[in-house]
Structure 1
């Protein structure tokens, strides 16, 4: 009996130790470390670059800071809006937040950078948005423009860092200058394997900001985070990335935006299916419909499509095989595949991928073209990495 008692006590202690250790190693994002960045906001007038992912233990950062008596003066809204309910590419207008009466200033669309008049009443810009680790995901571009605006206005810029769910991958061509756009502003690969705070340091350190002033940059790192730590997002970062699988497939499926193939916008599984009404691979059926807030006018709307269900496939990083297979299917029917070649090139950061696919090159041959550049990029980024 005594032996059983000691055994149970031992098991209890081990369980408690494991629980404490697990808790000690849990990821704590920058926004949740109030005591660290509180001094940076004391008696300061603050502007926030935030969206629906900007949460502090379930509470929006705006509400959290107001509860701490921080002088929040303005909200800057990126693509998809402050609440994250705008379609991809949809106009984001200036507005007033009904809950706080704070002005919402759009930094997506015509005015990607706020005017200096807007910033004259601010001392600090606080940036807190969840990214997914892709060069063409536009939150990175919005951060760049807000960094420039802050430098021009001589105000502090603080990045509250969050994990990158695709941090394990560095892949794709380095962006070429002639293909620079809002879906690709920096000479980095499609999958860069960095957090936004690391990229902010790199953007400043490499002199990529178009300003004569030096930016006063601060970053609040993620506690207990390492590059091999898997991170599942607690809230979808944009309307059409609803889960981990969509985020994993996003690097490979985004290229289909430039084609006639649907990638599931207008369904409950965007970025997890592929289909077309005439030329297809697979036998999975789905019908895109109008879904205001995520896909108002999706490609091939109201048509029954046939294709592939990728919800349970194991595709990680950058995979061109699906794009090549679908191109070959269209080619067999003498059908045009790329609906917007220029957009394909902007997403790629080069025209080489598209041209090599059209020329019949294999995935291995295409990937070979950027291997040497990735070695140099990894060397270049090394000094800016914050996590092991």
Structure 2
């Protein structure tokens, strides 16, 4: 397995967690949150694109390079890893600018939190935030760059904003005639396609294209699709090259060695994220403010007679102000679930049916942005069954699969 080695100011020490402060008969005191320090299922057999240096270093030689990166942008070694920025500098590649996505370059900021521009203290490189004043690189920010490299670990869920950053970066580079090089990484949710398809009327930074909630593509495959399908503004097209993975397919299990963002601490959270992420558009807490983010849900206003599990959210790493802060939440613990092969609505429907609140659980615009459609809230409110709701997703999924097929790199 790949154990972290802090050799650079670029690396995030992701083993430190803040205790969630749970109390009562049902607590986390005897439970362990299995972090990404567990062995990778495939160990070192999978070769991420960042490790394929002989394939991309010649493309960067004698070029002024911009790089879109965060704490997951690493080159793996036998006993650890080196950040891609450090690796490129060690290979005498000239890096001029580092662009950072949501959560920042070190991956520490809360979801949605604006991140300021900064300077790396080790190298003196400017770090320009794409989740602050602007989410798309400006013409001025791209000045004097010969090529932009994109290398960020994705988890394959539409409202996970790294793919929105990817789209805006490719678009900006296309508009300014700058080539883009994407270093591909495995998608841990690539083994299925499911969920409602984003509707054009509801596109936002939580979903910029009309794709299903779980789209079953690596970030490299997705980059090719948005570039070739005319989904960039005004139909522009970038000079795009993808360096592919080796020894990986869409069915290959992959346990991420570094948490991709503060509130996805392990493989269970990533597997449950497509389903529990829909709670982000509600008043229900989905584990933020505990050590089990996206592995549980609950609220003070859920029927206490229906749930034996309870927890108390408190501010912690990645969640400065969680929903139901300091309040006893009644709900369900899902931390024993290890894999998912679908987006399920059973937990969302369960919470809706057991909520004692006149206001309901849905946030006015937040839920629609996450779901990509107004229909899902209406269907749940009308007491439609999960099976009936999922039937309505099929036409959009089948349409998408036909488009997706053209851009698959892996079997």
TM-score by length of 1: 0.91
8 Å CA contact 1:137–1:183 kept in 2: the answer is yes
1:30-45 to structure 2, matched below 5 A, reads 30-45=49-64
Q: Higher relative CO (CA 8 A, sep ≥ 6), structure 1 or 2? A: 2
The aligned residue for residue 295 of structure 1 is 319
Moved more, 273-282 or 101-110: 273-282
1:81-96 to structure 2, matched below 5 A, reads 81-96=104-119
The aligned residue for residue 226 of structure 2 is 203
Q: Work out the CA distance in 2 between the residues paired with 1:38 and 1:334.
A: 58
Q: 1:308 aligns with which of 323, 327, 332?
A: 332
Q: 2:131 aligns with which of 101, 105, 108?
A: 108
Q: 1:178 aligns with which of 184, 191, 201?
A: 201
8 Å CA contact 1:285–1:306 kept in 2: the answer is yes
Q: Work out the CA distance in 2 between the residues paired with 1:298 and 1:315.
A: 26
8 Å CA contact 2:228–2:237 kept in 1: the answer is no
Q: Work out the CA distance in 2 between the residues paired with 1:235 and 1:271.
A: 17
Matched residue of 1:364: which SS? helix
Moved over 4 A (4+): 22-25
Q: Work out the CA distance in 2 between the residues paired with 1:171 and 1:142.
A: 22
The aligned residue for residue 90 of structure 2 is 67
Q: CA deviation at 1:232?
A: 0.5
The aligned residue for residue 293 of structure 2 is 270
Moved more, 254-263 or 190-199: 254-263
Name which one, 1 or 2, has greater alpha-carbon Rg.
1
Q: Work out the CA distance in 2 between the residues paired with 1:68 and 1:375.
A: 45
Q: CA deviation at 1:335?
A: 3.4
Higher helix proportion (structure 1 or 2): 1
Q: Work out the CA distance in 1 between the residues paired with 2:232 and 2:301.
A: 46
The aligned residue for residue 150 of structure 1 is 173
TM-score by length of 2: 0.86
8 Å CA contact 2:286–2:296 kept in 1: the answer is yes
8 Å CA contact 1:152–1:211 kept in 2: the answer is no
Q: Work out the CA distance in 2 between the residues paired with 1:315 and 1:25.
A: 21
Q: Work out the CA distance in 2 between the residues paired with 1:23 and 1:77.
A: 29
Per-residue CA distance 1:137-171 (angstroms, 9 max, x = gap): 10000000000111111111000000000001101
Q: CA RMSD in A?
A: 1.6
Matched residue of 1:254: which SS? helix
Q: CA deviation at 1:107?
A: 0.7
Q: Tell me, which stretches of 5 or more residues in structure 2 are unaligned?
A: 1-40
Q: Tell me, which stretches of 5 or more residues in structure 1 are unaligned?
A: 1-21
